[in-house]
Amino acid sequence: MSGREQGKALLKNLSTQVKEALNDDGELIVHKRGVEAMVDLATDLTGEDAPVGLIVQRDGGLRIKLLRKDRPGLITIEWQRPIGALVTSWERMDKTGGPFKFVWRDSDESFVEMGLGTELYTWLTATLADVLYADARKG
């Protein structure tokens, strides 16, 4: 194989890797998914199916804070582009949890917690019930 043929093979391999990571505009696909996830979360948390009394505060373009009036507690969700993950945490009175990092998994087409595999909405629902809506739990 000539030097040019080897070079073409290397370029083809690089092109394949780039197409797997970047969209047609040159933007990282995972970044686009992260931004879309933040928009979807904000929409879902303020829509008609959102828990009553939930306050969603935008803190910059890619961070939201979840609160309830006159209730101690805070949940933070942020897209962190440098690590390609949604990072969440919670605070309630003198307790804190996190950071929890959620990465995109193609097989499920969802964000799942690194190491544990918990899906983002499953984590969020449980955390909302525990941190901001403990008074609404039955039993």
Angstrom CA distances, 82 to 24, 42, 87, stand at 20, 21, 12
- Higher pLDDT pick, 11 / 75: 75
The string of pLDDT tens digits covering residues 58-116 is 988 899 999 999 889 999 999 999 999 999 999 998 899 999 999 999 888 899 999 89
What are the residue ranges spanned by the domains of the chain? Answer: 28-136
Cβ distance 116 to 123 under 8 Å?
no
Q: Stretch 11-38: mean pLDDT, rounded? A: 71
Fold of 28-136: Metal Transport, Frataxin; Chain A (3.30.920)
The DSSP output letter for 55 is E
Write out the two tokens for 114: 């690194």
The whole-number pLDDT of residue 106 equals 86
Q: What does pTM read for this prediction? A: 0.79
Residue 132: closest CA among 49, 33, 51, 41 = 51
